[in-house]
Amino acid sequence: MKIGIIGTGMVGATLGSKLVQLGHEVKMGSRTANNENAVEWAKSNGSKASAGTFSDAAAFGDVIFNCTAGGVSLNALKLAGSENLKGKVLVDVANPLDFSKGMPPTLTVCNTDSIGEQIQRTFPDVKVVKSLNTMNCKVMVEPSVVPGDSSIFLAGNDAGAKEKVRGILESFGWKAGTIIDLGDITASRGTEMVLPLWMRLYGLYPNQSFNFRIVK
Ligand SMILES: NC(=O)c1ccc[n+]([C@@H]2O[C@H](COP(=O)([O-])OP(=O)(O)OC[C@H]3O[C@@H](n4cnc5c(N)ncnc54)[C@H](OP(=O)(O)O)[C@@H]3O)[C@@H](O)[C@H]2O)c1
What is the distance between the alpha carbons of residues 59 and 53, in angstroms, rounded to a whole number?
10
Pairing of strands 89-92, 63-66: parallel
135, amino acid identity: M
Backbone angle region of 87, left / alpha / beta, with phi > 0 → left and psi within -120 to 50 → alpha: left
Residue of minimum CA distance from atom 29 in ligand 1: 72
CB distance 10 to ligand 1 below 6 Å: yes
Q: Pick from 100, 104, 26: which is nearest to 65 by CA?
A: 26
Ligand 1 pocket, residue 97 CB under 6 Å: yes
CA pair distance 152, 135, nearest whole angstrom = 8
pLDDT in tens, 90-137: 999 999 999 999 999 999 999 999 999 999 999 999 999 999 999 999
What is the model's pLDDT at position 172? Answer: 98
DSSP H or E stretch at residue 127: strand 127-131
> Ligand 1: which of 68, 97, 152, 192 to mutate, judged by most atoms within 8 Å of the beta carbon?
68
Q: What is the 3-state secondary structure (H, E, C) of 131-165?
A: ECCCCCHHHHHCHHHCCCCCCEEEEECCHHHHHHH
Per the CB < 8 A criterion, the answer to whether 181 and 161 are in contact is no
Question: What's the pLDDT score for residue 139?
Answer: 98
What pTM was computed for the model?
0.98
Predicted pLDDT at 196: 98
Q: What is the pLDDT of residues 26-84, one digit of tens each?
A: 999 999 999 999 999 999 999 999 999 999 999 999 999 999 999 999 999 999 999 99
Check residue 72 and give its pLDDT: 98
Nearest by Cα to 121 from 82, 93, 79: 82
Q: pLDDT > 70: what percent of the chain?
A: 100
At 7 the pLDDT is 98
Q: Is the CB of 17 under 6 A from ligand 1?
A: no
